[in-house]
Amino acid sequence: MNKNTRIYIAGHRGMVGSAIWRALEGKGYNQLIGKTSKELDLKNQEAVKNFFEKERPEVVIDAAARVGGILANNNYPYQFLMENMQIQNNLIDTAHKQGIDKFIFLGSSCIYPKLAPQPLKEEYLLTSSLEPTNEWYAIAKITGVKACEAIRKQFEKDYISLMPTNLFGPFDNFDLETSHVLPAMIRKFHEAKIQGNEPVELWGSGTPKREFLHVEDMADAVVFALENDFQDNLYNVGTGLDLSIKELAELIQKTVGHQGEIIWDSSKPDGTPRKLMDVSKMSNAGWKAKIKLEDGIKDTYQWFLENIDSIKQVKL
């Protein structure tokens, strides 16, 4: 790798892709390539092929995906399965056929079985059934992991998969129908605060435990993977620490300054009881997360306030 290497970041306008772009720019990489979804439809195989032939990237980072929380996964199972497979298959296959030797595929911790032992180790993949509320997205991501593993095994190319835990940070999605739990809570508590500290209703019991990683830490992990040779094909990326959804809600409530009641709707699904990543492989490779959860939430809420009029789908 050198600073003139042509690096294509798929999904460079999203929360993760834009953080990776900023991280690479900050380290002096000056040949970054990005296309919006309007400029390049990654679901179109021919369009992806033509783009690769024209731009000639030397490295590909796949941060493009259709993403969402429990509600979106439940309501649009076919789109979450098919569109994600189309996006990643086109990128992985075209990169391989164009002779690209370095590919970083970003997945999700939801690829692991619902009731796998905690913390989640990479070898637990495909050992049991998935969480039903997001299995469509998970299955798509598993096929991406396996495609990269197959290329690595058969052609000895440096194709690796990084599986992040729950990500959050600047440029997150705050739309209540499609967002994940942390940004949804930030918006709910903020709206309730400005409406006179009204009660906030949250899904589930609050007992499930989750791990959260600031997106800038994730971007730092991607840069680390880009600049180093890894011995295996699959690595978890997280903090190795978790907390209950109830504790998360109380932390966000405190950060936002909401002083009303929290009401838990136990008729709504909780999802997986616990999802903590075993990050020892990544740690042994030389990388660890740096941003504390409380600091990351403060940073994200501040960004939310500064961008409240322009946040995608915020509809305040």
What CATH number did the domain enclosing 195 receive?
Answer: 3.40.50.720
- 206 labelled binding-site residue: no
The stretch 36-61 carries a mean pLDDT of: 97
The answer on whether 164 is annotated among ligand-binding residues is: yes
pTM of the model: 0.92
Asked whether the predicted pLDDT for residue 72 surpasses 90, the reply is no
Catalytic positions: 137
12 labeled part of a ligand binding site: yes
141 is in an annotated binding site: yes
Compute CA distances 34 → 26, 38, 63, 314, whole Å: 16, 12, 11, 24
> Which residues lie across from 202 on neighbouring strands?
264
Provide mean pLDDT across the span 122-129.
Answer: 97
CA 277, 15, 113 angle in degrees (round to 5)? 30
Q: Is 16 annotated as a binding residue?
A: yes
- With contact defined as beta carbons under 8 Å apart, do 269 and 203 qualify? yes
Q: Quick check: is 316 in a domain?
A: no
Q: pLDDT tens digits, residue range 147-164?
A: 999 999 999 999 999 999
Give the chain's mean pLDDT. Answer: 94
Instruction: Note whether residue 70 is domain-resident.
Output: yes
Which residue range is the domain that position 132 belongs to? 7-306
> What pLDDT digit, counting tens, does each position of 203-222 carry?
999 999 999 999 999 999 99
SS3 208: coil
Instruction: Tell me whether residue 1 is in a domain.
Output: no
In a domain, 143, yes or no: yes
What are the tens digits of pLDDT across the range 75-107? 889 999 999 999 999 999 999 999 999 999 999
Token pair 């990326």 is found at: 237
Our count of domains for the chain comes to 1
Residue 313 placed within a domain: no
pLDDT of the residue at 312: 53
Angle at 14 between CA 8 and CA 20, to 5 degrees: 50
Q: Is 40 a member of any domain?
A: yes
- 262 in any annotated domain: yes
Average confidence (pLDDT) over 59-88: 90
Which pLDDT score is estimated for 316?
Answer: 41
Question: ω into residue 183 within 30 of 0, thus cis?
Answer: no
Indicate if the alpha-carbon torsion angle 87, 92, 94, 100 is positive or negative.
Answer: positive
312 located within any domain: no
Counting residues of the chain whose pLDDT is more than 90, the rounded percentage is 85
pLDDT band at 314, cuts 50/70/90? very low
CB 57 within 8 A of CB 102: no
